[in-house]
Amino acid sequence: AIARLEIHTEIDSTNRYLMREAATGAPGGTLCLAECQTAGRGRLGRAWISPFGANLYLSMLWRYAAPPVALGGFSLVAGAVVADVLRRIGAEGLALKWPNDLLWDRRKLGGMLLEVAGEAKGPSALVVGIGINVRMTADHGRVIDQPWVDLTDVLGGSRVDRNTLAALIVDALIDAFERFGREGLTPYLALWAEFDAFRGEQARILLADREIRGRVLGIASDGALRLDTADGERRFHAGEVSLRRE
């Protein structure tokens, strides 16, 4: 359930805020939304462009007494859940790029940022951040350093009610937190595969100091990316790794 709901006009980052709150004992089920972020964060230290009033910036804190598996796998669950919600409201052709990009026509529609809070205070805490471009302004779009799209475009110009969208996502997210807590990633692998942008494709994995080429086989039950390489199957965990199309 939602334990606490905070809606901020402006915040540095909804994720960073909930990580701070987690450290001072905020309850699991704390939900934070903002109209804009002054220091929105993406994966691998990238910035997430977060202009006022048109997109969705949402983070939720969840606590597990005893997580069944590594919490990092929830990033894939969050992606599958968000893609599924958007498909239900009519978005066709969505794709997920491991580990956490939501794409349409190879352009970025949204992303998930998962952070695990320190274990010192109480049971382990997870902060899941979701950013969706709902109606990006052209001015802000110009500074995004990769191809992007917004949900209004994906839906052929029809307006999306952000409150409804947020409610659908939060509902689905709460179910997923609970189910993930009982069963781990396994129940979500098939859904993720329905959106897998790279399955069967030749790709490169960029490590800190080299690249590894191969064909993407899909996702393992611990969330690792499975790549069929010249040396046989190899698995990669999200950490500091990027996936590129060949």
Give the catalytic positions in this structure.
43, 108, 244
Q: Which of 51, 72, 73, 131 binds ligand BTN (CB under 6 A)?
A: 131
59 binds ligand BTN (CB under 6 A): yes
Only one of the segments 38-46, 67-75, 78-86, 89-97 lies at the binding site for ligand BTN (rule: CB under 6 A); that segment is 38-46
133 binds ligand BTN (CB under 6 A): no
- Whichever of 19 and 203 has its CB closer to ligand BTN, that residue is 19
- Whichever of 76 and 214 has its CB closer to ligand BTN, that residue is 76
37 binds ligand BTN (CB under 6 A): yes
Instruction: Determine the 3-state secondary structure of 164 from DSSP.
Output: helix
* Bridge-based pairing state of the strands 225-229 and 232-236: antiparallel
Binding mask 100-119 for ligand BTN (x = CB under 6 A): xx---------xxx------
- Whichever of 13 and 124 has its CB closer to ligand BTN, that residue is 13
CB of 65 to ligand BTN, least distance (A): 25
| Residue 85 backbone phi and psi in degrees, to 5 | -60, -45
Which residues make Cβ contacts (< 8 Å) with residue 119, sequence separation at least 6?
Answer: none
67 binds ligand BTN (CB under 6 A): no
Minimal CA–CA distance to 109: which of 141, 72, 139?
Answer: 141
Cβ proximity of 109 and 93 under 8 Å = no
Other C-beta atoms closer than 10 Å to the C-beta of 179 total 15
Q: Which of 46, 88, 159, 213 binds ligand BTN (CB under 6 A)?
A: 46
Minimal CA–CA distance to 79: which of 219, 211, 191?
Answer: 191
Cβ proximity of 148 and 133 under 8 Å = yes
